[in-house]
Structure 1
Amino acid sequence: MSKAKKPEQAELDLIERFIHFLLFEKGLSENTRQAYQSDLIQFASYCANAPCDFYAVTQELVQAYLVYLTENGVKQRSAARKFSSIKKFYKYLIGEKLIERDPCQFVKPPKLSIYLPKTITEQDVNALLDAPSEEDTIELRDKAMLELLYATGLRVTELVGLTFQQVNVELGVVRVIGKGNKERLVPMGELAQDLITKYLAYSRPELNKQQSEVLFLSNRSVQMTRQTFWHRIKHYCLRVGISTEISPHTLRHAFATHLVNHGADLRVVQSLLGHSDLSTTQIYTHVAKLRLQQLHQAHHPRSG
């Protein structure tokens, strides 16, 4: 059995050059950079074993690669991401005048089924937010975090990474550093303002034994991990009898879904969530429609 060929160093260098271009132009996060690099090296390996010159890739080869991914158990969403990486790469090569024809131009991307994010009812959200006590140091911190998460739709990594300077309680806004180091201002609402004010007055001084700049501190005076916060949420779900599987990201989805349910403009929701593409936000219109259908079936006298 012949040994699989590896991409030429010149091809790896070209991929690296493309990654640097994206870092400079787009400000990618480390996870996104690694995904692009992994996708393109994998495709370069496939080309080397086709065999096919990396510069002379054809539409047929790209289509064959997508079939190869499917046959090897790669999920549609991952295959679509890999195709997107390849497409952007060859668009870059055309821009750099290294090739003349885009092999991806007429290739249809893998068809994705609509992914509906898990969300929870407003009633369950209210029960969860009411679960922690304001009389306990740790629970007041948790209550402030949960309220801020639901009020702003922050990603959990954005929440646990917040510094003291990023939150202006008087103005009621949070300055968030999101994916790709993109900055956005998000309003927090009065309930979150009040709870953060109480947390800063009573809990944080007890937890801040090392003069940390992190806003929400663990009982060891360091930044909380995502896993720790997730366990805290599970703790409160058990306390109030919420059986739905809930994660910190569920509250982000609930934030967006409930805004859309109450008539918020999709562009506003996009801005609050920090989505670069409106199509990412549009998923919440599907969630809202599904919820309306469920309510109709449950309560309309002639729904069957």
Structure 2
Amino acid sequence: MPARGASAGASGSGAAGRFLTMLAAERGAALNTLAAYRRDLDAAADEIGDLVAADGAALAGLGEAWSDVSPATLARRCSALRQFYGFLVDEGLREDDPSPSLPRPVTRRPLPRLLSHEEVERFLARAEEEAAAERPEAVRLLALLELLYGSGLRASELVSLPVTAVPRDAPFLHVTGKGGQQRMVPVSTRARAVLSRWLAVRQGGSRHLFPSRGESGHLTRVRLFQLLRELAGRAGLDPQRVSPHVLRHAFATHLLEGGADLRVLQTLLGHADIATTQIYTHVDSARLVALVNARHPLAKRS
């Protein structure tokens, strides 16, 4: 087995570099994602040395070597290694795949925090009340809220929207998501109306739809987070339960409750893997039971 700590033969090798290049070119992996994969490969190489030459016994020992990390971290590292060895086999750099020997930690993905329909209505009502006087800051906040809940945008996608993303005729936004992947996101009639109000009071010539004070950049995610929590407090909601991501979860959950198809929801959210979208099905158990009772052939038999 290669010497422990010989990390120069791992993520610094040509094989790891080619693997990361493949992730960027074929899967559109973002820079942060590529950096995370490199760290995971480095962590493995620190323990077993040259990853290309490592055998199953070496990989099996990683469970004990990484006994001090969380199950989620262990699962992520093992996932990176499985993909790496699959790449090596595909590229003919190895004849065998030793990754089945990797530990398989059992992890539970945390369920998303949710807001009820009534809480979202109260949130929106407060934002609409404050925007009634057409103050730019209040209209901007209402527009941000409408796009988070009405279109399910990620915070980073929302704050970085250029003015050109707003449609002139078609009811869609052109959004650049993770890994530079582009998608078209429907915009509701009420969200389009609020966007028109915002464009009417928006000052300056920034190319960003939601510019920062200096107008050289755009509103930050941190500031968006702060604005929403402040609004939550004024709306009588617990600020600790509110964030841009919670509103994205509410969009997905409430759409699924309304009968949206899971594949459609995956497209709207910009998820690369439908397994990510499936976490929302837990909230819809009552509707699924009703569907089985109504549509299953045995339901028609007395």
Are 1:55 and 2:88 an aligned pair? Answer: no
> What SS does the corresponding residue of 2:99 show, helix, strand or coil?
coil
Tell me how far apart the structure 1 counterparts of residues 168 and 148 of structure 2 sit (CA, whole Å).
Answer: 15
Q: Deviations over 1:173-203 (max 9, x none)?
A: 111111111111110101100000110112x
Are 2:23 and 2:29, in contact at CA under 8 Å, matched by a contact in 1? Answer: yes
What does residue 45 of structure 2 align with?
Answer: 44
**Regions of 4+ moved over 4 Å:** 290-293
Instruction: Read off the aligned partner of 1:118 and give its amino acid letter.
Output: R
TM-score (norm 2): 0.86
Letter in 2 for 1:64: G
Question: Unaligned stretches of 5+ in structure 1?
Answer: 294-304
- Within the candidate set 210, 217, 225, 2:211 is matched to 217
Q: 1 CA distance for matches of 2:11 and 2:41?
A: 10
Q: Secondary structure at the match of 1:185?
A: strand
The letter for the 2-side match of 1:100 is E
Displacement, 1:171? 1.6
> Partner residue of 2:251?
255
Q: Structure 1: which amino acid aligns with 2:53?
A: A
Q: CA RMSD in A?
A: 2.2
- Matched residue type, 2:149: Y
Cα offsets for 1:199-258 (capped at 9, x unmatched): 0112x1x2x2xx211001234334000000100001101101101521111001110011
CA distance in 1, matches of 2:51, 2:192: 55
Aligned to 1:5: 5
Partner amino acid, structure 2, of 1:65: L
Task: Please give the alpha-carbon distance, in whole angstroms, between the structure 1 residues aligned to 2:10 and 2:274.
Answer: 37
Q: Cα distance, 1:10 vs. partner?
A: 6.8
Kindly state the Cα deviation for residue 165 of structure 1 after the two structures are TM-superposed: 0.8
Q: Is the 8 A contact 1:29 1:179 kept in 2?
A: yes
Give the counterpart letter for 1:75 in structure 2: S
Give how far 1:7 is off. Answer: 1.5
Q: Is the 8 A contact 1:175 1:184 kept in 2?
A: yes
Displacement of 1:9: 4.8
Matched, 1:234 2:229: yes
What letter is aligned with 1:167? Answer: V
- Answer yes or no: is 1:274 the counterpart of 2:277: no
Mapping 1:1-304, distance limit 5 Å: 5-9=5-9, 12-14=12-14, 15-48=16-49, 53-69=50-66, 71-72=67-68, 74-105=69-100, 107=102, 109-132=104-127, 133-134=130-131, 135=133, 136-202=135-201, 204=202, 206=203, 208=204, 211-221=205-215, 222-243=217-238, 245-289=241-285
What is the percent sequence identity of the aligned residues?
36
For 1:95 and 1:212, how far apart are their aligned partners in 2? 47
Taking the aligned partners of 1:290 and 1:157, their CA distance within structure 2 comes to 33
- For 2:106 and 2:36, the matched residues in 1 are separated by 20
- Report if the CA contact (8 A) 1:47-1:54 is conserved: yes
SS in 2 for 1:252: helix
Paired residues of 1:94 and 1:101 also in contact (CA < 8 A): yes
How far off its partner does 1:292 sit?
Answer: 9.6
Q: Is the 8 A contact 2:78 2:103 kept in 1?
A: no
Q: Which shifted more, 265-274 or 242-251?
A: 242-251
Q: How far apart are residue 263 of structure 1 and its match?
A: 1.5
Provide the secondary structure at the position in 2 that maps to 1:216.
coil
SS of equivalent residue, structure 2 residue 13: helix
* Aligned amino acid, residue 30 of structure 1: L
Are the structure 2 counterparts of residues 255 and 118 from structure 1 closer, same or farther at C-alpha, using a change threshold of 3 Å? same
Kept in 2, the 8 Å contact 1:138–1:219? The answer is no
Shift of 1:170: 2.8
Q: Partners of 1:4 and 1:87 in 2: how far apart?
A: 20
SS in 2 for 1:118: coil
Shift of 1:291: 10
Q: Deviation at 1:159?
A: 0.2
2:58 aligns to what SS in structure 1? helix
